[in-house]
Chain A
Amino acid sequence: MSERKITKVLVANRGEIAVRVIQGLREMGVRTVAVHSTPDRTALHVLVADEAYEIGPAPAAESYLRGDVLIATAKACGADAIHPGYGFLSENAGFARQCEAAGIVFIGPRPETIDLMGNKLSARHKMLESGVPVIPGTEAAVRDPEVAKKAAAEIGYPVLLKAAAGGGGKGMRVVREPAEIDTALRQTMGEAKASFGDDAVFIERYIENPKHIEVQVLGDGEGKVIHLFERECSVQRRHQKVIEESPSPSLTPELREAICSAAVRTAESVNYLGAGTVEFILSQDKEFFFLEMNTRLQVEHPITEMVTGTDLVRAQLRIARGQGLPYTQDELRQRGWAIEFRIYAEDPAKNFMPAIGRINSHIAPSGPGVRVDSGIYEGFDVPIYYDPLLAKLIVWGEDRPQAIARGRRALMEYTLHGPGHNIPFHLWALERPRFIAGTYTTNFIDERFDPAEFQDPLPDDDREALLTAAALWEARRREAVRTGDSPASTPSAWRLDARRRMTGNS
């Protein structure tokens, strides 16, 4: 493959991933271009980029999803490539094609690969062909309830009805007995049509209490594929991942070898180009099945970076430049343990209701083995239009117990005031015996979490400290109002007094 010049990249995304991509590109001496909707003028990714252009109003459909505007912007500012991040247009084959046609490098796989993997049925066919285990199920879309009943009987109940074009947990229904099939099929088809414009539904065996394991792969587009081991993402809420770890506590070395080889086979079967993730479902009997392939960088990519000592954005750029894979399989090892905590603007005490508002305080943890990928800053108003992911806390430890202890330490150091968020949930999760044992499944939150009771009462000495601090805060505020001082900018009488006491000059 001939090398392509990439010296300026437009990042077609927002939030923490846009910031992380910009940081990686900058380290490689690449000029960075941010794009933003009108309200995102002051979003962090815009502030840290070399150049930034407004691409439309707040709704994503009129800004971050406007492929034509993005390409025109890239051309106008002289960007050689577009990095799509995750979400938005990252898995849109049409957009990848338009980039190609416009002479702009799309940092991701070829459009045909996105098309093939984006459709569950075509991906499934490809896997069957390549000898990658798939969940037993129908090979074609099912529309007739009688056909559905026959298929379900062959597969064995419970079965899952699944929209071919679905994703993110939408368009799925569990059916436990034949009598339920008629209605369930009609509903799933209707939902599929409404959500994805395609009513194709297929039937597969429903795996009870599964684990979610995925494998990071890199391909050079010329037949060479390597894997960067697995991630376990079984802590999910409404099919959205919340905590991820690498390695997976559920794999034996043999199983790891088998699942990683299957992932490599998957990527090889489509002559994969760039960074991708092959997702598997692991049953209680330790059988694994292909779920889907995500043809982009994942939210949880940092845990792989921590454990393998790699930089996936750098790898993506090198591959896009036609410089090939930056590592050989033999060079890659899993060292230690990494856990990622997604910090969402959603309140666990209110059943994870999304929250918005101004970030009044953001004091992120630091210290050994701690990484925070954030898309926010103090004073930033979290907009209602986009994903509620504010930041990601990633910790690394020599082994799993240390990673858990470090996660707990870092979460306790984390201060985030403003919108409600799920840091208290993460602290709760780390205390659960099932999490500590590594035996949790995708039902972990549904089975164990009680919004009303997940937090212990505040210990007495902490409550006394809190009340004392609040009273002193109020006393200082009133003093400041009285004297016209701003408590934050001038040392108040309180602080001066305290200092005198500490130095013994009273």
Chain B
Amino acid sequence: MWMKKRYVLDNGGEQYTAEVATHRDGRIAVKLDDGGPRDVDACWVQNGRALSLRVDGRMHLIDLTATGQRGGLAATVNGRHLALTVMDELRALAQRSVESTVAGGTVAAEIPGVVVSLAVTAGQKVHQGDAMLVLEAMKMQNEITAPVTGTIDEIRVEVGQSVSTGDVMVMMTAEVGG
């Protein structure tokens, strides 16, 4: 079975989406923006600090280091030093509309699916990007993460429950300045 996750990558204000699909048998496929899925041969090397990528026989060696800022990455690709921020779609959405999330908010299902696991409970403090639940939709497991740092007010779903697009799953209050 394939497990899919989508990320938004911000490189100097330009945002890209990447969908990473992994299969139990070890296959990895990556889809960038609206391109088609591509099987990648990826090996973590140098104690996990660099990724060797082979795409159609072409080799790339990418050095990566976390910057210490949330989602911040420093990368060297083919002699170029680059900075980027990795986030999931909700955080990217949250970033685009900071005002609307300051006061708090709701986390709603973007696609119809089944809640397969819950990682948080009401009253819990979470950081932006922390996993809250996994929603299985179209045979894909999607990790839903906290859009902002704050406190979980209420969880409106249970494991096994089906949700439709727009159904509120979690309500939370953002930490001021968080």
Residues of A within 8 A of B (CB): 358, 360-361, 363, 411-418, 421, 423-424, 427, 455, 458-459, 461-478, 481-482, 487-489, 491-492, 494-502, 506
Contact B82 A466 (CB under 8 A): yes
Contact A501 B86 (CB under 8 A): no
In the assembled complex, how far is the CB of residue B112 from the closest CB belonging to chain A, in whole angstroms?
A: 24
Chain A residues, Cβ within 8 Å of B82: 458, 466
Q: Identify the interface centre among A465, A468, A474: most chain B CB within 10 Å of its CB.
A: A468
Which of A414, A462, A475, A501 contacts B20 (CB under 8 A)? Answer: A475
Question: Chain A: which residue is nearest B119 at the CB level?
Answer: A482
Contact B79 A427 (CB under 8 A): yes
Chain B residues, Cβ within 8 Å of A496: 26
In the assembled complex, how far is the CB of residue A477 from the closest CB belonging to chain B, in whole angstroms?
A: 8
Contact A417 B18 (CB under 8 A): no
How far, in whole Å, are A295 and B147 apart by their CA atoms in the complex? 61
How far, in whole Å, are A467 and B8 apart by their CA atoms in the complex? 9
A458-B82, A478-B131, A497-B26 given as contacts; is B55 within 8 A of A465 (CB)?
Answer: yes
Chain B residues, Cβ within 8 Å of A418: 65, 74
For the A-B complex with A411-B79, A417-B65, A470-B64 known, give 17 more contacts whose Cβ atoms are closer than 8 Å.
A414-B79, A415-B63, A462-B80, A463-B16, A465-B60, A468-B30, A469-B51, A470-B86, A471-B19, A471-B20, A473-B64, A489-B48, A491-B44, A494-B44, A497-B22, A497-B28, A501-B41
Contact A412 B43 (CB under 8 A): no
Which of A360, A464, A500 contacts B65 (CB under 8 A)? Answer: A360
A361-B49, A466-B62 given as contacts; is B80 within 8 A of A498 (CB)?
Answer: no
Contact A506 B67 (CB under 8 A): no
How far, in whole Å, are A204 and B139 apart by their CA atoms in the complex? 80
Q: Mark B39-56, 1 if CB is under 8 A from A, else 0.
A: 011111011110101010
Interface residues of B in 63-107 (CB under 8 A from A): 63-68, 71, 73-82, 84, 86
Question: Chain A: which residue is nearest B63 at the CB level?
Answer: A415
Question: Is B5's beta carbon under 8 Å from chain A?
Answer: yes
Interface residue range, chain B: 35 or more
A415-B63, A497-B28 given as contacts; is B84 within 8 A of A461 (CB)?
Answer: no
Which of B5, B60, B75 contacts A470 (CB under 8 A)? Answer: B75
Contact B16 A468 (CB under 8 A): no
Contact B62 A465 (CB under 8 A): yes
Interface residues of B in 2-33 (CB under 8 A from A): 5, 7, 9, 11, 16, 18-20, 22, 25-28, 30, 32
Question: Chain A: which residue is nearest B82 at the CB level?
Answer: A466
In the assembled complex, how far is the CB of residue A330 from the closest CB belonging to chain B, in whole angstroms?
A: 42
Q: Mark B105-134, 1 if CB is under 8 A from A, else 0.
A: 000000000000000000000000001000
Contact A458 B77 (CB under 8 A): yes
Chain B residues, Cβ within 8 Å of A464: 32, 55
Chain A residues, Cβ within 8 Å of B75: 466, 469-470
Chain A residues, Cβ within 8 Å of B49: 361, 488
Contact A502 B41 (CB under 8 A): yes
In the assembled complex, how far is the CB of residue A487 from the closest CB belonging to chain B, in whole angstroms?
A: 5
Which of A461, A468, A491, A499 contacts B40 (CB under 8 A)? Answer: A468
A472-B42, A478-B131 given as contacts; is B48 within 8 A of A487 (CB)?
Answer: yes
Chain B residues, Cβ within 8 Å of A361: 49, 63, 65, 74
9 A-B pairs (CB sep. < 8 Å): A416-B81, A458-B82, A462-B60, A466-B84, A467-B18, A470-B75, A475-B5, A489-B47, A502-B43
A467-B16, A478-B131, A494-B42 given as contacts; is B74 within 8 A of A473 (CB)?
Answer: no
A424-B81, A461-B58, A501-B27 given as contacts; is B42 within 8 A of A468 (CB)?
Answer: yes
Q: Identify the interface centre among A423, A475, A476: most chain B CB within 10 Å of its CB.
A: A475
Contact A471 B7 (CB under 8 A): yes
Question: Is B167's beta carbon under 8 Å from chain A?
Answer: no
How far, in whole Å, are A500 and B25 apart by their CA atoms in the complex? 9
Which of B32, B48, B60, B73 contacts A492 (CB under 8 A)? Answer: B48
In the assembled complex, how far is the CB of residue A362 from the closest CB belonging to chain B, in whole angstroms?
A: 10
Chain A residues, Cβ within 8 Å of B27: 497, 501, 506
Contact B48 A423 (CB under 8 A): no
Question: Chain B: which residue is nearest A363 at the CB level?
Answer: B63
Chain B residues, Cβ within 8 Å of A498: 26, 28, 41-44
How far, in whole Å, are A418 and B72 apart by their CA atoms in the complex? 11
Question: Chain A: which residue is nearest B45 at the CB level?
Answer: A495
Question: Is B143's beta carbon under 8 Å from chain A?
Answer: yes
Chain B residues, Cβ within 8 Å of A462: 60, 77-78, 80
How far, in whole Å, are A424 and B79 apart by their CA atoms in the complex? 8
Chain B residues, Cβ within 8 Å of A412: 78-79
A360-B67, A458-B80, A498-B44 given as contacts; is B26 within 8 A of A466 (CB)?
Answer: no
In the assembled complex, how far is the CB of residue B83 from the closest CB belonging to chain A, in whole angstroms?
A: 9
Contact B143 A478 (CB under 8 A): yes
How far, in whole Å, are A416 and B64 apart by their CA atoms in the complex? 10
How far, in whole Å, are A97 and B76 apart by their CA atoms in the complex? 49
In the assembled complex, how far is the CB of residue B153 from the closest CB belonging to chain A, in whole angstroms?
A: 23
Which of B11, B28, B79 contacts A466 (CB under 8 A)? Answer: B11
Which of A414, A470, A478, A499 contacts B9 (CB under 8 A)? Answer: A470
Q: Identify the interface centre among A412, A487, A498: most chain B CB within 10 Å of its CB.
A: A498
In the assembled complex, how far is the CB of residue A418 from the closest CB belonging to chain B, in whole angstroms?
A: 7
Chain A residues, Cβ within 8 Å of B18: 467-468, 470-471
In the assembled complex, how far is the CB of residue B61 from the closest CB belonging to chain A, in whole angstroms?
A: 9
How far, in whole Å, are A415 and B46 apart by their CA atoms in the complex? 13
How far, in whole Å, are A467 and B77 apart by their CA atoms in the complex? 10
